[in-house]
Amino acid sequence: MMEWKLEQWREEVEKAESVFLYLYTPLCGTCMVASKMLTIITAMKPELKFGKMDMNYAKDLARQYQIESVPCLLVINNKEVKEKVYRFESVPHLLTICQSHTSL
């Protein structure tokens, strides 16, 4: 999963139908576990458009999308936030969420 800057994020939202943005902080233990789960999903489904962003450098984005905590997975379809996932229960659970928001 690539680390995105704010400009890259905006470009991906403009050109892709479905985009998934993983928001985290480096010292968050739960974020580390969530990151491993998402790494598995990106390996299983490389056609899904995933990026990640450190919330320490994306405070404006956090305000814009009213991010309540990390880890958070923003699910974007057709340039709109469709879901904010805060509960990283399991790989199958996250995979189901991702597949429900994409036509792939």
Tell me, what CATH number does 63's domain have? 3.40.30.10
User: Which residues constitute the domain of residue 47?
Assistant: 2-101
Distance CA 66, CA 90 (A): 24
Residue from 40, 57, 66, 71 nearest 6 by CA: 57
Compute the distance between CA of residue 7 and CA of residue 96 in angstroms, rounded to an integer.
28
Confidence of residue 98 (pLDDT cuts 50, 70, 90): very high
Domain count, the chain: 1
Task: Give first-to-last CA distance, the chain, whole Å.
Answer: 18
Torsions phi, psi for 15 (to 5 deg): -100, -20
- 65's tokens: 């999308």
pLDDT in tens, 9-56: 999 999 988 999 999 999 999 999 999 999 999 999 999 999 999 999
Of 97, 100, 82, the C-alpha closest to 38 is 97
Q: Name the pTM for this structure.
A: 0.92
